[in-house]
């Protein structure tokens, strides 16, 4: 029984809940049946102001077209552009500048244009006012070229571009005029506040902003002045530029055409005394006007909305002129191939040149060697003959003398033999002396010389031989390098001679110890002291094989005259310096050349 009662009461409860919930679900169904229609509105003076200005119009539309629910979305320039491209709005209401920009890029259908307030009631209500403080003494736009200015944004039509165009028209370079411009963005009221607070000298604002703000009690009219004022019939706001078409409402791709037709009819029929019209600061709507004048502004400022980045234009051009694109591509490929071909040819000819250079150097080396051999040969053979004659005579006399002694000839017979030998010895001596003076006699020119440079030049001269024989040459320096007066040719001869000797010594060592993995090393070490410069040439060759190598005609080389080191010694003595050569304990030898540091040229010996 009780169970049954419970069942009944449960049923009643369910019914009651169902009955209660019925009107609620009915209202939600009604709301779901009126779809939202999103209207984006450019919020030039902030969201609040935008709502105040446009919500009445939206409400009026909602009233007139109850099937849908119009929703107002305040947007700034960028979000507006985004909204159109992303198709998040059904309708947009924006200023003429953006109308043109967007209209050229997206499929917007213009529905209606705002009409100015009575009494002018034209569709032209957009322009810039160049406002300065009334207290300043600027009279014309020219007076404020380059001064700090405030503007809305680079893309703001009323708040920047129209004035820029006006400056172009007046023959002022807009870049100079706007050399120090600050873009303050939305809300645009900030521009005039900045001007009031003396942060800038002028402000570029959309027309009527100043008047509206004065009316709203935000600013004191007496404190501001508009430069370059234009006569505009019954237009009540001061403006510095011509006027351009007013704000327009457009349908995006998302919006329905049917709805657009209805909206259009309702807006066009809006009476000027309607609250919505008054709130929007207009006297109603007309059919959309021609935007040609705005186009012209963009064209003049090189900002045509269709003007795309250069690469996009190039791509478009390429798509259109494919044959040219291919030709260009083939040309590009050809140029590349040609470039590589040239590079290849260049590297080849470079190789050939290098080989030729190498051969030339080799030939030079051979020539120098054969010349040296020829000189040695010629000098040697004539020297041999010259010295052989007295030697022969001496031998003959001495043998004859010995025979006389053996035969026990008298003393008087033997004396003349020695006289004759004596005179032959003198003859030989004279020959040697003549040769020596011949070799050392050379005109000497002394001049200031950088020893380091001279050594580098010398090594460069011997570079080929060093490289060929695989000799590693190193330079060392202690002290501060100074210049001194030397016989450059003579000193270079000495260096060449000594380094050549060092190479020879290394090569001889290598010949004698072929299996040691020997690396020939030569070190040229300069040591600068207070009044002397010493140059050491150290090698790791065979070392000295003769007790007194600087003596003339002493040589261990089969084709050597034995004059090299003797000449070196003479040259260094002539410099007032020294030439020493000695074996090292370990291996090789060191040749030391020391020079006095002279600062004046003195060609006397």
Min dist CB 551 to other proteins, Å, is 23
Residue 275 vs 384, nearer CB to other proteins: 384
| Token duo for residue 276 | 């919505």
H or E segment and range at residue 209: helix 209-215
Residue 303 vs 393, nearer CB to other proteins: 393
Min dist CB 407 to other proteins, Å, is 8
- Give the neighbor-by-neighbor strand order of the sheet with 202-206: 181-183, 149-151, 202-206, 128-133, 224-227
Min dist CB 387 to other proteins, Å, is 9
- Angle (CA) 202-206-207 rounded to 5° is 100
Instruction: Return the number of other C-beta atoms located less than 10 Å from residue 180's C-beta.
Output: 12
Min dist CB 412 to other proteins, Å, is 15
Residue 148 vs 380, nearer CB to other proteins: 380
Distance from chain centroid for Cα 283: 60
H or E segment and range at residue 507: helix 488-512
Residue 205 vs 394, nearer CB to other proteins: 394
Residue 330 vs 403, nearer CB to other proteins: 403
Residue 426 vs 573, nearer CB to other proteins: 426
Write the burial class of residue 254 (CB in 10 Å: 0-12 exposed, 13-18 middle, 19+ buried): middle
Residues at the contact surface with other proteins, assessed by CB under 8 A: 381, 384-385, 388-397, 399-400, 403-404, 407, 417, 420, 423-424, 427
Residue 189 vs 424, nearer CB to other proteins: 424
Angstrom distance (rounded) from CA 40 to CA 90: 8
Residue 408 vs 443, nearer CB to other proteins: 408
Min dist CB 416 to other proteins, Å, is 9
Residue 376 vs 523, nearer CB to other proteins: 376
Angstrom distance (rounded) from CA 421 to CA 595: 44
| Token duo for residue 359 | 């051969």
Min dist CB 383 to other proteins, Å, is 11
Whether 239 and 230 have beta carbons less than 8 Å apart is answered as: yes
- Would you give the DSSP letter of residue 289? P
Angstrom distance (rounded) from CA 385 to CA 379: 10
Residue 14 vs 373, nearer CB to other proteins: 373
Residue 379 vs 584, nearer CB to other proteins: 379
What are 103-109's contacts with CB under 8 Å, separation 24+? 103/250, 103/291, 103/305, 104/304, 104/305, 104/306, 105/305, 105/306, 106/252, 106/253, 107/252, 107/253, 108/84, 108/250, 108/251, 108/252, 109/250, 109/251, 109/257, 109/260
Min dist CB 560 to other proteins, Å, is 20
Whether 520 and 502 have beta carbons less than 8 Å apart is answered as: no
| Token duo for residue 318 | 């390429």
- Asked whether the CA dihedral 328, 334, 337, 343 is positive or negative, the reply is negative
Angstrom distance (rounded) from CA 239 to CA 208: 8
Min dist CB 379 to other proteins, Å, is 14
Distance from chain centroid for Cα 347: 27
Min dist CB 392 to other proteins, Å, is 4
Give, to the nearest 10 degrees, the angle between helix 292-300 and helix 162-169: 70
Min dist CB 558 to other proteins, Å, is 17
The DSSP string of 347-408 is HHHHHHHHHHHHHHHHHHHHHHHHHHHHHHHHHHHHHHHHHHHHHHHHHHHHHHHHHHHHTT
Min dist CB 424 to other proteins, Å, is 6
Min dist CB 441 to other proteins, Å, is 26
Distance from chain centroid for Cα 336: 23
Angstrom distance (rounded) from CA 203 to CA 190: 10
Residue 284 vs 390, nearer CB to other proteins: 390
Min dist CB 397 to other proteins, Å, is 5
Whether 128 and 166 have beta carbons less than 8 Å apart is answered as: yes
Residue 403 vs 474, nearer CB to other proteins: 403
């Amino acid at each position: 029984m009780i169970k049954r009662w419970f069942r009944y009461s449960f049923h009643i409860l369910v019914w009651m809940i169902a009955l209660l919930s019925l009107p609620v679900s009915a209202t939600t169904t009604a709301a779901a049946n009126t779809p939202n229609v999103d209207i984006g509105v450019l919020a030039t003076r902030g969201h609040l102001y935008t709502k105040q200005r446009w919500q009445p119009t939206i409400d009026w539309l909602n009233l007139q077209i109850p099937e849908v629910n119009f929703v107002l979305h305040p947007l700034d320039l960028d979000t507006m552009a985004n909204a159109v491209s992303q198709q998040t709005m059904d309708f947009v209401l924006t200023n003429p500048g953006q109308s043109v920009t967007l209209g050229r890029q997206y499929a917007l259908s213009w529905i209606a244009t705002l009409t100015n307030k009575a009494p002018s009631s034209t569709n032209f209500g957009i322009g810039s006012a160049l406002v300065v403080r009334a207290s300043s003494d600027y009279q014309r736009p020219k007076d404020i070229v380059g001064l700090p200015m405030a503007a809305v944004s680079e893309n703001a039509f009323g708040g920047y571009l129209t004035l820029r165009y006006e400056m172009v028209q007046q023959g002022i370079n807009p870049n100079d005029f706007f050399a120090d411009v600050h873009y303050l963005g939305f809300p645009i009221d900030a521009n005039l506040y900045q001007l009031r607070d003396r942060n800038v000298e002028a402000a570029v604002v959309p027309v009527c902003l100043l008047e509206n703000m004065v009316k709203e009690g935000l600013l004191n009219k007496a404190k501001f002045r508009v430069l370059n004022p234009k006569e505009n019939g019954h237009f009540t706001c001061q403006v510095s530029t011509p006027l351009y078409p007013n704000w327009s409402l457009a349908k995006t791709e998302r919006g329905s055409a049917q709805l657009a037709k209805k909206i259009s009819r309702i807006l066009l029929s809006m009476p000027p005394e309607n609250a919505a019209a008054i709130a929007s600061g207009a006297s109603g709507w007309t059919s959309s006007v021609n935007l040609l004048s705005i186009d012209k502004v963009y064209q003049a400022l090189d900002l045509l909305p269709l003007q795309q980045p250069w690469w996009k234009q190039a791509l478009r051009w390429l798509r259109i002129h494919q044959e040219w694109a291919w030709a260009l591509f083939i040309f590009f490929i050809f140029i590349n191939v040609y470039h590589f071909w040239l590079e290849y040819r260049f590297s080849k000819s470079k190789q050939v040149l290098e080989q030729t250079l190498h051969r030339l150097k080799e030939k030079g080396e051979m020539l120098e060697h054969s010349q040296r051999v020829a000189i040695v040969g010629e000098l040697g053979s004539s020297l041999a003959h010259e010295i052989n004659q007295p030697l022969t005579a001496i031998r003959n006399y001495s043998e004859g003398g010995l025979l006389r002694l053996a035969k026990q000839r008298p003393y008087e017979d033997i004396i003349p033999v020695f006289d004759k030998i004596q005179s032959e010895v003198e003859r030989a001596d004279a020959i040697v002396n003549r040769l020596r003076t011949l070799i050392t006699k050379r005109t000497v020119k002394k001049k200031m010389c950088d020893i380091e440079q001279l050594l580098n030049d010398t090594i460069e001269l011997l570079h080929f031989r060093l490289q060929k024989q695989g000799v590693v040459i190193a330079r060392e320096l202690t002290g501060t390098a100074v210049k001194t007066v030397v016989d450059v040719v003579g000193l270079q001869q000495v260096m060449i001679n000594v380094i050549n000797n060092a190479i020879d010594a290394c090569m001889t060592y290598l010949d004698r110890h072929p299996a040691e993995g020997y690396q020939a090393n030569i070190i040229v070490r300069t040591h600068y002291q207070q009044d002397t410069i010493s140059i050491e040439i150290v090698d790791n060759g065979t070392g000295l094989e003769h007790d007194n190598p600087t003596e003339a005609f002493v040589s261990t080389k089969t084709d050597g005259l034995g004059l090299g080191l003797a000449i070196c010694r003479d040259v260094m003595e002539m410099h007032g310096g020294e030439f020493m050569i000695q074996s090292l304990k370990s291996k090789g030898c060191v040749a030391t050349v020391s020079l006095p540091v002279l600062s004046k040229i003195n060609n006397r010996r």
